[in-house]
Homo-oligomer: A and B are copies of this chain.
Amino acid sequence: MFKNINIFLFICIKISFFSFSIFIPNIYNMAKELTNRSENYSQWYNDLVVKADLAENSAVRGCMVIKPYGYAIWEKMQAQLDKMFKETGHVNAYFPLFIPKSFFSKEASHVEGFAKECAVVTHYRLKNDPNGKGIIVDENAKLEEELIVRPTSETIIWNTYKNWIQSYRDLPILCNQWANVVRWEMRTRLFLRTAEFLWQEGHTAHATKEEAIEEAEKMIRVYADFAENFLALPVIMGAKSANERFAGAIETYTIEALMQDGKALQSGTSHFLGQNFAKAFDVTFTSKEGTLDYVWATSWGVSTRLMGALIMAHSDDNGLVLPPKLAPIQVVIVPIYKGEEQLTEISKTAISIKKNLESLGISVKYDNRDTQKPGWKFAEYELKGVPVRIAIGPRDIEQGTVEIARRDTLTKETLPIEGIEYTIQQLLETIQNSIYKKAFDFRESNTIEVQTYEEFKNAISKQIGFVSAHWDGTTETEEKIKQETKATIRCIPFNAKQEEGTCIYSGKPSKQRVLFAIAY
């Protein structure tokens, strides 16, 4: 990686002395000003998604357009997740967009959860309106059985697996699908809750219960690894309470993250489905011992909702803050010049720095457009969350320096050009870790343990964050707490210590604290 060990050592020492001056907020930002988080967090989020060119609402109610800059971030997420899925033995496949209506009725609890608010295809042809008013549905082209646009694919996939599985030799099946899904949400928000969204859904089939549980646990760990190391998003892994489980699951595992407004965001789930879908679709296999048994299942998914998590966890009043590992542009170079001659001179240096950075696998944009002023560009890349900005002016060229600005801390410093690519390589890693640390510290200082229901209600009403409390384990208590406070059990953490206590609501005995929060 380092061509010269001396340069490497120099940088290591240099980095430890990194002291950035405070960055002066840019007046050019005014044109695209965001609502402040403290003023209206929800409006800030909506502003940011639109103004940073991530996504926008479309002409179709609840469906979004993911704009190129937003999609580029999603592509980076996809590429990394896909790699992690393949490394854990999974393969991709593709199943139909449509599901026959009757399939939903086959798994009793699944139908309640998924076959309600959904897009229903009833006809397969349009025709010219005989009255000359455009086109109308051809009533002669009515489907015998309505088709549902998939809200999730367990049913169509298990109907397919039936033909793929006869013997234990056909198991396990470890398929994933990247797809669009539709859930007819009444209140939608870009990325967080949209009628159509993009996701991946893993659907696996196993010979034993143990193997299926192991798979479901493995995948929630893959999600946690991805969230923490790529999204820079600290998450708490745990199991859902019965009430919050996926419709059709025996166990649902989740990763829960905390947003800057103190609300929790469920960021990925993995389900142990038992034999529910195998029974619903009659999927059996002959075991090694010659007995016939139902197949065991899991499913797991993350979606474009992760874009919402990414935005809400790290960004600030100036715009996006992107962890370098997911930033489409990791470094932007902006020339500060007057006249063609200065630009030519600066461009030589800029292009050379760009080349050196790219040879280290760093993505760089050199913005030499003469249609926009440097200040406008600074504001634009702040808004878009580019982690590092390099500014080069004529004096820099004279002195062999450049100005480096960090997006996450809004600090800047002048540094020598010599070896700048290694400084920046190291800096990107520092920024990645620093964004994670900031989010982690925020979560730690916004997680509170309470002993009584009064304390609980007080914490929830202030929307502090995660509230850790004893719970008697009943759905009844959970629902009453939800009715009274709007807080839900986000998860029963995997790593919670065993601790005798009494339920904050019922006073009954409890052996473990669970995490409550107001959630997205």
Q: Which residues does A use to contact B, with CB under 8 Å?
A: 56, 58-60, 63-68, 71-72, 74-75, 91-105, 111, 115-127, 134-135, 137, 146-149, 156, 159-160, 163, 169, 175, 179-180, 182, 184, 196, 198, 371
Contacts and interface: CB of A to CB of B under 8 A. Distances in A.
B63 A96 contact: yes
B93 A156 contact: no
Nearest to A178: B178
A126 B118 contact: yes
A125 B116 CA distance: 5
17 contacts: A58-B95, A59-B96, A60-B96, A60-B98, A60-B156, A63-B98, A68-B91, A68-B93, A72-B92, A111-B135, A117-B125, A119-B121, A120-B125, A120-B126, A121-B121, A122-B137, A180-B180
Contacts of A122: 120-123, 137
A159 B159 CA distance: 38
Contact of A118 (B72, B116, B125): B125
A74 B93 CA distance: 10
Contacts of A134: 101-102, 105
As for how many copies of this chain the complex holds, the number is 2
A99 B94 CA distance: 23
B121 A196 contact: no
Contacts of A124: 117-120, 184
Contacts of A169: 371
Contacts of A118: 124-126
Nearest to A119: B121
Contacts of A66: 93-94
A80 B196 CA distance: 27
Contacts of A149: 97, 121, 149
A196 B58 contact: no
Given A68-B175, A156-B58, A119 B147 contact: yes
